[in-house]
Amino acid sequence: MACIFRFCSDLSTGNRGFRRKLQTETRSPRAGSVKLVNMPVTFDDKLVVAISSRALFDLEDSHRVFEEEGVEAYCRYQIDRENELLTPGVAFGLVKKLLRVKDPKTGNPMVEVVLISRNSADTGLRVFNSIQHHDLEITRAAFSGGDEPFVYVEPFSAHLFLSANPSDVRGALQRGIAAATILPAATADTESGDEIRFAFDGDSVLFSDDAERIYKSSGLEEFSRSEKAAANQPLPGGPFKNMLAALHKMQSEYPAEQSPIRTALFTARSAPAHERVIRTLRAWNIRIDQAVFLGGLSKGEFLRTFGADIFFDDQRDHVESARDNNVAGGHVPHGVANE
């Protein structure tokens, strides 16, 4: 089909780290001649966020055409409208704020956002036109032409993948990458201000689901007993441990009171199960700005009070509670609750 073909801009597969070769001039000390030397561009010391076009922009109408009328109709729909600008999607405000984060010493951007899409380059032109219109510094993309796009998340060295497609999210999680399904919602007003507030669930997100499996199989009493006995034993890391560590590294570049990044834990745990969480973060040498132990209470109002830009949880009802309180939610389909 003419409209579907494979394209990936600025991508080199091979080693896990993303590499793009630039040519730069150097002068030979013997003859004064000029030669071209390959210099690799890397994402070292940057937070890398991969995002799908449906998470970045509101593409529900075009997705409906794809679902109801098929690929050919979708291609015609997108090409016919490639000069019609897309409106912001659920994660648009978060992305815009992330792209404003600068290194306090050099002034260089600290975040790289890459587009990962099932579109072909042909149908994806509308997305890039909208990126340019909204003045987003997104210059790298992978268009998979209908194939599974999440395979490109790893070579881009992404710390986080946000998508509206649950199967793509599961594929990224299976590769050890923090990933979440962005649920459709009214676009939250998160663009104002420079501070970015990330909120995380604990078990099955920051931590493994080991403790939650005990709760599911043996109940609250046994869970509390087990966690109290293991209070000095750090929990294994979950799919978002590395993401939290990357945020902590960014925070450490700023004086504590000036960091544009704020993090918080919102967990259904309560005392005595709180102690193991605190000691785990201490063992990881990771600072988290706020921690709220809810003991089973609904999370939505607390997330709104914190002012979260986005919240990650393995249980869909908690994500929907966030959405009901105008907080963008990412469902993490990982762990015993999703089996």
Name the strands in the sheet holding 178-182, side by side, starting at the edge strand that comes first in the sequence: 7-9, 141-143, 111-117, 47-52, 160-163, 178-182, 328-331, 310-313, 196-200, 261-267, 290-293
Q: Are 122 and 75 in contact (CB under 8 A)?
A: yes
Per-residue model confidence (pLDDT) at position 192:
60
- Average pLDDT value over all residues in the chain: 87
In the chain the beta strands, taken as DSSP E runs, fall at 7-9, 20-27, 34-41, 47-52, 111-117, 141-143, 160-163, 178-182, 196-200, 261-267, 290-293, 310-313, 328-331
CATH number listed for the domain at residues 196-338: 3.40.50.1000
Q: Name the catalytic one among 122, 168, 201, 309.
A: 201
Q: Which residues pair with 116 in a beta bridge?
A: 52, 142
Q: Are 17 and 157 in contact (CB under 8 A)?
A: yes
Closest CA to 44 of 94, 107, 109: 109
pLDDT digits (tens, 9 = 90+) for 81-134: 999 999 999 999 999 999 999 999 999 999 999 999 988 888 889 999 999 999
pLDDT digits (tens, 9 = 90+) for 17-26: 433 333 344 4
Would you give the DSSP letter of residue 149? G
Per-domain residue ranges for the chain? 47-181, 196-338
Report the top-level CATH class of 47-181: alpha beta
- Please check whether the two domains, 47-181 and 196-338, share a CATH topology: yes
Residue 201 annotated among the catalytic residues of the structure: yes
- Residue 246: pLDDT band with limits 50, 70, 90: very high
Range with the lowest mean pLDDT among 29-38, 160-169, 234-243, 325-334? 29-38
